[in-house]
């Protein structure tokens, strides 16, 4: 897979964990497992805030890793000891609103509103790419995770953080209704009441409170290096499993979350899925192994 398009944006780095160090990676992340892909936020001068370039290239990086032969898990993290992500870059937000006003000044408010609506839908797709990726996505959070950072994290399959992580659904303090996924995904993760608390107060919660309410599943270490090591260990435990089982489990979980169907209907869905997928060499290998470690072929 060609990651040359990422050269246009140095503060978003994308790599595979290979023995040789390809472009966009750092040697401290060098591993020997090509089944894990990394997307690293690295824009410290703006606290890893997303601007137009990052919104555009982030989903392309996710898709590129997802389509890379052998990759079975994606890890999203941030470089260094600074914030994980401070959300949307306010300069970018101002530019977007100015463009809407320019369109409106030409005499058609409807076209201005359509521009803004379509633009927001595009930003939403950037983080939704994590759900659309067929492989499990782990987000490792160190430092502050604010606004759009929470939107990003909520779209992942597994969230872990360091002891120094903090979280804030900050949009209401900017006179904005959060619109990139937090209000839609968090109720499924932490419940309606807890989401309302965070979104309406914009208060900052600690890693301990995030763990207690189910926003993250593990709190690992005090620094980013320790967190990253723990995230890698978790990722490697996933990629040792059947790739077909990983894909099917993710699909079934998201299907249930997004469906108003009864438990019985969801059981029928997963039965149909397994009727198609259980006839696989992965299952045969597992049965023959009888609990012993086994290596599955790549898709």
The full set of domain ranges for the chain reads: 4-239, 243-289
Q: Which two tokens stand for residue 10?
A: 């140095």
Provide DSSP, 171-187. GGGGT----SSHHHHHH
pLDDT for position 171: 92
Active site residue 81: no
pTM: 0.85
Q: Which two tokens stand for residue 13?
A: 């780095």
Average pLDDT score over the chain: 86
Annotated catalytic residue within 148, 149, 230, 248 = 148
pLDDT for position 28: 34
Helices 263-277, 243-257: crossing angle, 10 deg rounding: 160
Closest CA to 140 of 152, 126, 148: 152
Q: Are 151 and 127 in contact (CB under 8 A)?
A: yes
Annotated catalytic residue within 51, 74, 87, 88 = 88
Annotated catalytic residue within 33, 104, 179, 209 = 179
Annotated catalytic residue within 40, 131, 151, 157 = 151
pLDDT for position 104: 85
Annotated catalytic residue within 171, 181, 205, 220 = 171
Residue 12 has pLDDT above 80, yes or no: no
Share of the chain above pLDDT 70, in %: 89
Residue 122 has pLDDT above 50, yes or no: yes
Band (pLDDT 50/70/90 cuts) for residue 4 is: low
Active site residue 197: no
Active site residue 151: yes
Q: Are 154 and 181 in contact (CB under 8 A)?
A: yes
Closest CA to 82 of 142, 25, 29: 142
- Give the helix/strand (H/E) hosting 42: none
- Residue with the bigger pLDDT between 140 and 261: it is 140
Alpha carbon distance 34, 72 (integer Å): 9
What CATH number is given for 4-239 in this structure? 3.90.226.10
Q: What is the 8-class DSSP label of residue 41?
A: E
Active site residue 222: no
Active site residue 268: no
Band (pLDDT 50/70/90 cuts) for residue 13 is: low
């Amino acid at each position: 897979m060609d990651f040359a398009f990422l050269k246009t944006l140095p503060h978003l780095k994308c790599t595979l964990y290979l023995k040789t160090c390809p472009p966009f990676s750092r040697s401290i992340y060098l591993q020997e497992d090509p089944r894990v892909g990394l997307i690293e936020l690295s824009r410290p001068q703006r606290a890893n805030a997303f601007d137009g370039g990052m919104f555009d290239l982030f989903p392309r990086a996710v898709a590129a890793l997802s389509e890379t032969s052998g990759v079975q898990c994606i890890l999203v993290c941030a470089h260094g000891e600074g914030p994980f992500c401070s959300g949307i870059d306010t300069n970018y937000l101002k530019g977007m609103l100015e463009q809407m006003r320019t369109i409106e000044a030409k005499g058609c408010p409807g076209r201005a509103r359509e521009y803004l609506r379509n633009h927001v839908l595009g930003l939403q797709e950037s983080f939704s790419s994590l759900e659309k990726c067929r492989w499990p996505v782990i987000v490792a959070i160190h430092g502050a995770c604010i606004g759009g950072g929470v939107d990003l994290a909520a779209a992942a399959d597994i969230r872990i953080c360091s002891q120094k992580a903090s979280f804030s659904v900050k949009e209401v303090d900017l006179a904005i209704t959060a619109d990139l996924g937090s209000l839609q995904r968090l109720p499924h993760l932490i419940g309606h009441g807890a989401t309302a608390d965070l979104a309406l107060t914009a208060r900052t919660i600690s890693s301990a409170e995030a763990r207690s309410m189910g926003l993250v599943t593990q709190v690992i270490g005090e620094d980013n290096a320790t967190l990253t090591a723990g995230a890698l260990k978790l990722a490697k435990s996933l990629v040792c499993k059947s790739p077909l089982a990983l894909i099917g489990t993710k699909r079934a979980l998201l299907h249930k979350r997004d469906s108003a169907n009864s438990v019985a209907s969801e059981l029928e869905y997963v039965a149909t899925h397994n009727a198609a997928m259980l006839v696989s060499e992965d299952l045969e290998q597992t049965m023959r192994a009888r609990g012993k470690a086994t290596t599955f072929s790549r898709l």
